[in-house]
Amino acid sequence: MNEVIAQRLANFQAGKADPIALIFFAIIVAGTLMITYWAARKTKTTSEFYAAGRSVTGFQNGLALAGDYMSAASFLGISGMVALRGYDGAIYAVGWLVGWPALMFLIAEPLRNLGKFTFADVVSSRLKNRPIRIASAVGGILVVLCYTIAQMVGAGKLIQLMFGMPYELAEILVGTVMLLYVLFGGMLATTWVQIIKAVLLLFGITILAGLVLFKFGFNPANLFGAVSDTYGFETMFKPGGFVTSPIEALSLGLALMFGLLGLPHILMRFFTVPDAKEARKSVAYATTFIGYFYLVIPIVGFGAAALVGQEFITGIDKGGNMAAPILAAALGGKPFLGFIAAVAFATILAVVAGLTLAASSAMSHDIYVSVFKKGQATEAEQVKVARIATVVFGVAAVALGILFKNQNVAFLVGLAFAIAASANFPALLLSITWKKFSTRGAVWSIIAGAVSASLCILFSPVIWVNIFGFEKAIFPLKNPAIVSMSIAFLAAYIGSVTAPEPESQEKFEQEKIRTYLGVGAE
């Protein structure tokens, strides 16, 4: 049995395009482009372009949300982290799930009832439209941009490793296919690409974990025993440097939990379902799929450590990102490696497509139509501007992906979550729940949150010490959320108290019928 694995590992060569992988890859791309062709005929109005005509069911949206969230970074990154660092990887995985229940309890239903295409619609619904639009669109674009750069750089490296394609070509390929989905199929095509990818990914990790457990008599305890025997019990199962002090733990936990509630590409999915009830159902399905995903991922990681070996994994990629694909090759041979590689590729395409759509809606719907045109634009003009914004962002994503080629971009995901939790989330929550929230409060909160989160990260050990090489960090915590979120809420309070708006307080009361009963929701 183990000879087969050794034989397959000996055959494994990174950077060599495997014909089976290429066939799977071609099938996935062809299939998704056919969906785009079908969706393109249904996508003519702005509501269809941004919100799939609000025709998505709760179950479908749950899968699409899970697809948006289960990025290649989680699939490859966390399984690799578990394979190399053991239990610490699992602690990280938990944090990615706990935002979902919070999203459900706090904002899912009111968000759906109050919103149209973007979360800025909700924040600005009862306040002065223009300043808020600009602030929240900028906050949203910042988050999406950080997230996109991290995805694009990760994607380029992954494709380079798996298909042996040059990095720049990989970037352009991802950019082109993704642009085709968004440009022609809009939200409907993007949603279906996400659904397909989520199903393939869940199917893939189930098979992978099943094959691992099969080797250990379907008992995880045997797997953990084998891992301990090889690498030492304490090394793999004792929590290490990931969570150091309680305050560091609290700050990281807050960023992961509430960052989700400020991610524009996740929030905009809630406008694709017909009503609040379907929005609620979509979170329940998404939480189910994502919870399952994070329960299974450590089995894949520990399996890779036990069956492939850490040395082999780090020999292919130092960060351990190839642990899952190598494990697939070891357990299922080339066809399975081909399948997993293609799924990882589809994952990147789908996530970048979702991000691009979110950025383009902020640029066209929030900035161009609402601020420059003051809401006076025809349907045809709005769709045209949305498509131009899509191309602009897509080209920028490819260019930035190439520019950041040799940078360590892991901190960008942390930055995206910290800004989302500090700039977008407080303003969104307060606009739904706090009567006295005013325009100045909202603008101050978004700016204070974004600026303080960015500065704290710049001065944190992660950048100030590790990247700039200074001896001591100015800001002591690795994650700024506990400080920057407090600043954002404080700024919201001071701004709202110093510039109260009686008319928006009156509007808040009137709007309740829409917030809670869904009467008048679009």
Partner 1 sequence: MNAHEIVNSDRFKKLVRKRWTFSYIMLAILFVVYFGYLFLISLDKEQMIHLVTPNITLGIALFVAVIVIAWVLTIIYVLWANSSYDKEVEELKKMLK
Which range touches partner 1 (CB under 8 A), out of 100-108, 311-319, 413-421, 481-489? 100-108
- Rounded least distance, CB 292 to partner 1, Å: 9
- Nearest partner of 199 among 64, 298, 340, judged by Cα: 64
Q: Are 291 and 66 in contact (CB under 8 A)?
A: no
Residue 369 tokens, joined: 């139509």
- Nearest partner of 263 among 395, 423, 488, judged by Cα: 423
- Rounded least distance, CB 298 to partner 1, Å: 7
- Nearest partner of 157 among 320, 330, 26, judged by Cα: 320
Which of 224, 339, 437, 464: binder of partner 1 (CB under 8 A)? 224
Which of 131, 164, 291, 476: binder of partner 1 (CB under 8 A)? 291
Q: How far apart are CA 87 and CA 101, in angstroms?
A: 23
Residue 253 within binding range of partner 1, rule CB under 8 A:
yes
- Rounded least distance, CB 510 to partner 1, Å: 7
Instruction: Report the C-alpha dihedral over residues 274, 280, 282, 283, rounded to 10 degrees.
Output: 150
- Who contacts 193 (Cβ-Cβ below 8 Å, separation ≥6)? 32, 35, 36, 67, 181, 346, 349, 350, 353
The nearer residue to partner 1, 18 or 511, going by C-beta atoms, is: 511
Residue 217 within binding range of partner 1, rule CB under 8 A:
no
The nearer residue to partner 1, 93 or 313, going by C-beta atoms, is: 93
- Rounded least distance, CB 425 to partner 1, Å: 13
- Who contacts 279 (Cβ-Cβ below 8 Å, separation ≥6)? 58, 61, 108, 109, 111, 112, 270, 273
The nearer residue to partner 1, 75 or 339, going by C-beta atoms, is: 75
In three-state secondary structure terms, 438 is coil
The nearer residue to partner 1, 151 or 504, going by C-beta atoms, is: 504
Q: How far apart are CA 282 and CA 297, in angstroms?
A: 22
Q: How far apart are CA 111 and CA 123, in angstroms?
A: 10
Q: How many CA atoms lie within 13 A of 490 on its CB side?
A: 8
Q: Are 75 and 233 in contact (CB under 8 A)?
A: no
The nearer residue to partner 1, 31 or 101, going by C-beta atoms, is: 101
Residue 277 within binding range of partner 1, rule CB under 8 A:
yes
Which range touches partner 1 (CB under 8 A), out of 133-141, 286-294, 312-320, 478-486? 286-294
Q: Are 265 and 173 in contact (CB under 8 A)?
A: no
Which of 9, 295, 388, 455: binder of partner 1 (CB under 8 A)? 295
In the stretch 72-91, what mask flags binding to partner 1 with x, by CB under 8 A? ---------------x--xx
Which range touches partner 1 (CB under 8 A), out of 114-122, 278-286, 307-315, 481-489? 278-286
- Rounded least distance, CB 395 to partner 1, Å: 39
424-453: contacts with partner 1 (CB under 8 A): 433
Residue 231 within binding range of partner 1, rule CB under 8 A:
no
Residue 232 within binding range of partner 1, rule CB under 8 A:
no
Residue 288 within binding range of partner 1, rule CB under 8 A:
yes
Residue 516 within binding range of partner 1, rule CB under 8 A:
yes
Q: Are 453 and 481 in contact (CB under 8 A)?
A: yes
Which range touches partner 1 (CB under 8 A), out of 159-167, 276-284, 350-358, 464-472? 276-284
- Rounded least distance, CB 144 to partner 1, Å: 26
The nearer residue to partner 1, 17 or 519, going by C-beta atoms, is: 519
Q: Could you tell me the sign of the dihedral formed by the alpha carbons of 416, 417, 422, 424, in that order?
A: positive
Residue 213 within binding range of partner 1, rule CB under 8 A:
no
Which of 66, 143, 211, 252: binder of partner 1 (CB under 8 A)? 252
Number of shown-chain residues binding partner 1 (CB under 8 A): 56
- Who contacts 321 (Cβ-Cβ below 8 Å, separation ≥6)? 76, 77, 80, 154, 157, 158
- Nearest partner of 455 among 443, 445, 463, 465, judged by Cα: 463
The nearer residue to partner 1, 225 or 476, going by C-beta atoms, is: 225
Residue 243 within binding range of partner 1, rule CB under 8 A:
yes
- Rounded least distance, CB 517 to partner 1, Å: 5
The nearer residue to partner 1, 9 or 284, going by C-beta atoms, is: 284
In the stretch 450-489, what mask flags binding to partner 1 with x, by CB under 8 A? ----------------------------------------
Residue 242 tokens, joined: 């990931």
Q: How far apart are CA 500 and CA 364, in angstroms?
A: 30
Which range touches partner 1 (CB under 8 A), out of 120-128, 136-144, 248-256, 482-490? 248-256
| φ, ψ dihedrals at 288, nearest 5° | -60, -50
Identity of residue 339: F
Q: What is the DSSP letter of 70?
A: S
Residue 284 within binding range of partner 1, rule CB under 8 A:
yes
Residue 230 within binding range of partner 1, rule CB under 8 A:
no
Residue 138 tokens, joined: 């900028």
Q: Could you tell me the sign of the dihedral formed by the alpha carbons of 430, 436, 440, 441, in that order?
A: negative
Q: How far apart are CA 343 and CA 359, in angstroms?
A: 24
Q: Under the rule (CB under 8 A), what is the footprint of partner 1?
A: 87, 90-91, 93-95, 97-98, 100-102, 104-106, 109, 220-222, 224-225, 228, 233-234, 237-239, 243-246, 248-250, 252-253, 257, 277, 280-281, 283-284, 287-288, 291, 294-295, 298, 433, 509-510, 512-513, 516-519
